Structure 1
Amino acid sequence: MDIYLKKAILHVVDREAGTPVISQIELDLTTEYIREYLTKKIQKLATPQTKTGILMENSSFAEMAKETMTNFSEGSEKLLQRWFDSYQQSEDAPSADVFIVLYEQDTIQHLAFLKVNYTQAFTHYVDAQEEGIANKLIINRAILGNKTQKADEGIAVNLNDLSYELIEKKYTFSGEKMFYFSTNVIETQPVPSLEENVKVMKRVAEKIGEKFEAPKHDVAADIKEAVYTSIEESGQLAIKEVAQHVFKDNITAQMAFQEEVLEKGVADQTPMLREVKEITEKKYGKQKLKLSNGIELIVPLDVYRNRDLIEFVNNPDGTISVTIKNVEDVINKL
């Protein structure tokens, strides 16, 4: 994905100060490390936890986002204030920096709102005293995550069709943990993330699998493989295809699976992130197994299905034996 940064600004949100420190001057995008930092943060908005949706045309957030194209500073300040009006009501939401970025992606105008929480880090402080130079160890409580880390929360909006990608966190409001960004800031119900959908499907498949005495580890592996295959082939998560893959010729189990996952809000055949194939390959292209004896295995899908390479044997006493076969070499990595 080609990203061309046009304008960017940084606002400081210190919860102890009570009000945001609003910048009147934009960030200097001729500085390479600033461009690289912001570009990486935008790219990192595409994750398995990312939710998607479309803003309402006449919503306040959409109108403010569009305003940044003609009056960036004023529009970004309005966006920051709208978000902060909700954020400040939380009992545990931390201090952070907020980056608002106007950019082009494949020639289409986009706007990103990126919130990066502070972390603590130790550093030195050189103090010139009457007795001489004193090098001191201090704690800096306003360190930002590095460029390879995704923003703690953020939204990227396509300003052409108002579609968006959202990462949000739950914070405590009046004693209750809740997602505030989608409900209060953009006031739009997003489609569940890929990770949320897969977790629901896994739980439902395991429950239905128990009724038909299917091994739990096989059901979990089938779900991962079905998700991987469905997205690789169509770019979408198709519930019917997943059901057929997991429960093979068992029509009753397939129908029960489809009905229950739809009831639980799993999105069927909805458009997904453009990076979804790469994400799926990384997250669901391998089986991660943790055995009760403490052994952990990471097995590529093609190896997992090859009984000449790995085999699971159900023993008469109820235990399971895992046999790894035809290994030419073992490399011990520290």
Structure 2
Amino acid sequence: MAMMMTVAALLPLRSGAVDRGKQVMVSQSEPAARLLDTVENAIWAADGQAADKPVYVLYSTECAWSKRLYDDTRGLAGKVQLRWIPVAGGTAGSVVAARDAASIAGAFGGRGPRVVDVAAAQRGLAYNQGVMDSINYQMRPYDRSSTFAFPTLVYRTSKGVKLVAGNPRNLAALPGEVLPQPATMPTPSGVALSSHPLSLVNSRNLPKWSHRQARPVVFHAAPSPQAPPIDDLDKDLLVPVSGIVGTTGWIEVAPWGPGKRKAYVHDPVMARMATLEFRVRPQGGQWQARDTVQVREFPDAEAPVLETLGPGERYQRRGVVERGGDVWEQIVLYADGTPGYVRR
């Protein structure tokens, strides 16, 4: 379920507008800023001197339409700055690594420069693939076909942030449409977010993750709030957990979406529950609530409450857990055998 409200109109495809694909103008400030932030912080390579008029291009180094756009924009070098975001292609890693105009040209010719740190380039490419996923996610209110493919142009105009999926025919008009801004060359946050491999630990107690909030929770392409949003999850739906990102509070969920990549959700409490160390000492018999008690998902005072039981309610006891000076009763809470924990 997408979280965002409809904020733009899907423009009709008229003769002379685009060769293929679609155009979207995002005019409301918050979604427009989110879309622009997504591409600004992708790992892009600059092409052209006019940094005050940036146009972001998501592309594949092996896409004929992307190569055609590259060839057709050679006359725009002093009028706009194309910031190419490599998402796919055998030489895409060389552009991620070098981030310069020469690597863009070389990659299109199949002769990208030698990549010294291949693993780092692959992490950067995976980050950019998350950016493409995020574009499709953010465009769901207008089109759910996930067809914002290669090349896709994103740039600021006087009316909002414009997205063009396809090759514009009238490229000569592009510089006049791009809204000038301060001529800065910021280092995208994606560079730092993909610079090191993740330190993952096994999810000992949490095979699947869900949430109990009223609104959908957003997943990101990397374990950081700066990483692009790529999908969301409704209340009580479950997704498989593939690891916990150190002590950061981020949870990695199993392959997600069409590209089957990992996604990340920030839930410090459940991330801690996933690695909680405890041993259940088997103990049978019946357990009966003496007062009103809360049954928690794990033997920890911060664990989510599964049920609240009244005095006299009885359940089968399965075992006892001792942690940090507290004793917890493990009971069979549901008919499917799901356990719950009550502090004694």
With the length of structure 1 as denominator, give the TM-score of the two structures: 0.24
With the length of structure 2 as denominator, give the TM-score of the two structures: 0.23
Which structure carries more helix by proportion?
1
